[in-house]
Structure 1
Amino acid sequence: MSQIKLHVLQGACPLVPHTALAMAKASDNIDYDIIIMSREALKSAEYLALNPKGSAPLLRDGEFVLSQNFAILSYINAKFPKAHIFGKGDEQHIAKTLQWLAFVNSDLHPSFKALFNPNAVLPNADENLVKALQQQAKENIVNLLRLPNDELNNKDFLNGEFTIADMYLYVTLRWATAMQIDFSQHTNLAKFIKNVENLPFVLQTLKEQELAVL
């Protein structure tokens, strides 16, 4: 059996499939390699031959190569079903996990683009316009975080049990913290962060990417 290799950017969204592999290691005792890439290495000829988009994550399983978070997570789920990365319930339970995963991937994650790379949103904008854009982005992020915060009333995790959707939310909360976004009004999220960081496979992924807990 080939050993899976996952190319990641430290602390970025590939932390999500990285955690999925750690969950598979806990359930199936698999081995995997994490390859931490620099942004310069993502644009190297060798890497672009594997992924012409020059982005991470990228999963390699023998000769099989796969990009895009959703595709990689679906592959890990199909290959290691005992890991239950989407949850242990019926099809409706799993569909709710996918709903939250889609929310973070399609709504919450893109909201950070103006903070990470404002020039991609407003090319050649002056400093005042960039500041206004970033302030609006922060307000939008806080507003979006209201939805998972409300869902976490009387629950430790979004769907009642830890799933990979929780990890994606946790990753965005790491970004929000790093960008000094004040989401303290959403009081359930502080407890949620602690719940996620109490999980051994999450601590394993943080250690493997040399990241500190929040």
Structure 2
Amino acid sequence: MSRTTRLQDLIRVLRHHTGPIGGPELAERLGITLRTLYQDIAALRAVGVEVVNAPGQGYVLPPEVVLPPAALAEPAPREPAELTFYTNPLSRGGIVHWMLEELGVPYRTVILEYGTTMKSAEYLALNPMGKVPAIRHGDVVVTEAAAICAYLADAFPEAGLAPPPAARGDYYRWLFFAAGPLESVISLNTLGVQPTAEQQRQIGCGDYWAVLDTLAGVLDGRGHIAGTAFSAADVYVGSHLGWGMHFGTIPRRPEFEAYWAALKDRPARLRCEAYVERALSLQA
């Protein structure tokens, strides 16, 4: 089936469907993969056909949208930018791995070893810290797991892993709350460092229990950290809570357990978990 035919079928289904339709259902109706669906939606948007992704509901083609003739033209082939993922199975790279699997886009994985290839001149040219994770998307290099998650959500909007720009207050707030205060107080507490009240004002992350109370309060009764739909912020916050409760660096509070229970069985995360288990079995 040519892309022109697929785009025609996509527009036809959206035009005749009442209300939003989820990505998996839409792909099934069209007889294509989710990855192909995302690519076709991106092709329509590129020529001005704004297929709207309603968070938590699905895709819809507003009735006022006028289809330009170019929308159904066969686009010239364009090589997508290569996406390379630098990681180690026993690292925070697991957060980005989960994010990549949620996107459903092709990527190449490069495994780096601590103390050797992670400190090589080639990798230090990408990340002078000599740490993972990192990604290279075409000519763009991004390090730091939270920044990578935010970048990927924007670079691949078809996956719907970021709220619309006007609704990103909670998304940015809690994504970077976890990257800043949460990770800092967990690290300090794990190392046995208990800052005094004066020191808490200096380091910025505050008190361990105050941070956990704050996070528990926002998660109480909520399935997602930013609005009603799963997002990159859930990948990041969920990863920290899941790991923290597993390794004992975060207490098993009811709010944390309920939130993690709603995330831990997502197919993308389970694929990452299976990957880590295989990697560890090879090292045994």
Q: Out of 96, 107, 115, which is 1:32 matched to?
A: 107
The 3-state SS of whatever aligns with 2:259 is helix
Q: Name 2:169's counterpart in structure 1.
A: 95
**Residue 157 of structure 1: CA displacement?**
1.6
Q: Which one-letter code corresponds to 1:51 in the other structure?
A: N
Q: Name 2:61's counterpart in structure 1.
A: none
Gaps of 5+ in 1: 119-130
The answer as to 2:92 corresponding to 1:13 is: yes
Q: Which one-letter code corresponds to 2:129 in the other structure?
A: K
Q: 1:42 to 1:79 in 2, by over 3 A?
A: same
Q: Name 2:151's counterpart in structure 1.
A: 75
| Equivalenced residues, count | 189
What's the TM-score once normalised by structure 2's chain length? 0.57
Work out whether residues 86 and 98 of structure 1, in 8 Å CA contact, stay in contact via their aligned partners in 2.
Answer: no
Q: Name 1:54's counterpart in structure 2.
A: 130
Structure 1, 171-180 or 77-86: larger mean CA deviation: 171-180
Q: Name 1:22's counterpart in structure 2.
A: 101
The 3-state SS of whatever aligns with 2:277 is coil
What's the TM-score once normalised by structure 1's chain length? 0.74
The answer as to 2:86 corresponding to 1:86 is: no
Q: Name 2:182's counterpart in structure 1.
A: 108
The answer as to 2:224 corresponding to 1:157 is: yes
**Residue 106 of structure 1: CA displacement?**
1.2
The 3-state SS of whatever aligns with 1:196 is coil
Work out whether residues 186 and 249 of structure 2, in 8 Å CA contact, stay in contact via their aligned partners in 1.
Answer: no
Q: 1:154 to 1:115 in 2, by over 3 A?
A: closer
Q: Between Structure 1 and Structure 2, whose CA radius of gyration is higher?
A: 2
**Residue 63 of structure 1: CA displacement?**
4.1
Q: Whose helix proportion is higher, 1 or 2?
A: 1
Query: Which whole-Å CA distance do the structure 2 matches of 1:141 and 1:54 have between them?
Result: 28
Work out whether residues 19 and 201 of structure 1, in 8 Å CA contact, stay in contact via their aligned partners in 2.
Answer: yes
Q: 1:167 to 1:71 in 2, by over 3 A?
A: closer
Query: Which whole-Å CA distance do the structure 2 matches of 1:143 and 1:11 have between them?
Result: 29
Structure 1, 92-101 or 30-39: larger mean CA deviation: 30-39
Query: Which whole-Å CA distance do the structure 2 matches of 1:182 and 1:103 have between them?
Result: 15
The 3-state SS of whatever aligns with 1:210 is helix
Q: Name 2:249's counterpart in structure 1.
A: 181
User: What is the RMSD of the two structures over their aligned residues, measured on CA atoms?
Assistant: 2.9
Higher RCO (C-alpha under 8 Å, 6+ residues apart): 1
Q: Name 2:33's counterpart in structure 1.
A: none
Q: Which one-letter code corresponds to 1:94 in the other structure?
A: R
Q: 1:104 to 1:80 in 2, by over 3 A?
A: same
Q: Which one-letter code corresponds to 2:152 in the other structure?
A: I
The 3-state SS of whatever aligns with 1:197 is coil
Q: Which one-letter code corresponds to 1:77 in the other structure?
A: A
Q: Which segments of structure 1 move beyond 6 Å, counting only runs of 4 or more?
A: 134-137
Work out whether residues 100 and 165 of structure 1, in 8 Å CA contact, stay in contact via their aligned partners in 2.
Answer: yes
Query: Which whole-Å CA distance do the structure 1 matches of 2:244 and 2:262 have between them?
Result: 18
Q: Name 1:208's counterpart in structure 2.
A: 275
Gaps of 5+ in 2: 1-79, 201-205, 279-284
Work out whether residues 4 and 31 of structure 1, in 8 Å CA contact, stay in contact via their aligned partners in 2.
Answer: yes
